[in-house]
Amino acid sequence: MSATPEVKSASANNRASAISTIVLGFAADPMARWVWSDSSEYLRIMPRFVNAFGGRAFEHGTAYITEGGRAVALWLPPGVEPDEAEMGAIMEESVRPDIADDIGAVMKGMAEHHPREPHWYLPLFAADPNWIGQGLGALLMKHALRRCDGEGIAAYLESSNPRNMSLYERHGFEAVGRIQSGSSPVLTPMLRPAS
């Protein structure tokens, strides 16, 4: 890519495309595929889960996309939470009984590590696998973190893929714990303090 791609707020018109990019980007994610190991089940459930977990970013203008929807970051502003009721319903309907207790423990760990002070939360961040390695993740991260810094507010995420840790660390995030239960992959809560 020669010119730096533009970062925009996703609109209602490209919401479906943004969600599809996240579904593609998480197709090999350790945590997502542990929860929904069957590919058909993953493709059926994941779009609904993305909408419940990070969909409120669209309503707040904080769903950021690069041109062509090649990479997407769903940021929830301070005070905005995922749709817990819908997430619970999705889990109730789709989770295999053999991992239900471990998922419950992972979700409890997520709640325990979540900062209590005002913060920006990044529940979902992904690139279309065709466009990984093009710097789009760094571009999206810088775009959102400028706002965090301008407001003097911390940023928080949970990394579900060890391959993404270095990207987050380069942008000032530090691991603040480790969430894991039974057969689950490790989820790493990461905080970037207010600057």
185: pLDDT strictly greater than 60:
yes
Positive or negative CA dihedral for 71, 77, 83, 88? Answer: positive
Q: Nearest CA to 19 among 69, 90, 61?
A: 69
pLDDT digits (tens, 9 = 90+) for 64-90: 999 889 999 999 999 999 999 999 999
86 is a domain residue = yes
Q: Please state, in angstroms and rounded to a whole number, the distance separating the CA atoms of residues 177 and 113.
A: 7
1 is a domain residue = no
Q: Please state, in angstroms and rounded to a whole number, the distance separating the CA atoms of residues 194 and 151.
A: 9
2 is a domain residue = no
φ, ψ for residue 29, nearest 5 deg: -70, 130
2: pLDDT strictly greater than 80:
no
Host domain of residue 180: 7-192
Arithmetic mean of pLDDT, 156-185: 96
27 is a domain residue = yes
Arithmetic mean of pLDDT, 24-35: 97
* Per-residue confidence (pLDDT) for residue 195, from 0 to 100: 79
Tokens 């380069």 map to which residue?
Answer: 170
Arithmetic mean of pLDDT, 11-39: 95
Q: Please state, in angstroms and rounded to a whole number, the distance separating the CA atoms of residues 45 and 47.
A: 6
1: pLDDT strictly greater than 50:
no
pLDDT digits (tens, 9 = 90+) for 82-141: 999 999 999 999 999 999 999 999 999 999 999 999 999 999 999 999 999 999 999 999
What's the mean per-residue pLDDT of the chain?
95
* Per-residue confidence (pLDDT) for residue 159, from 0 to 100: 97
Please state the domain count of the chain.
1
Arithmetic mean of pLDDT, 26-33: 97
153 is a domain residue = yes
Tell me the CATH number at 13. 3.40.630.30
pLDDT band at 62 (very low <50, low <70, confident <90, very high): very high
Arithmetic mean of pLDDT, 13-38: 96
Arithmetic mean of pLDDT, 155-181: 97
168 is a domain residue = yes
pLDDT band at 18 (very low <50, low <70, confident <90, very high): very high
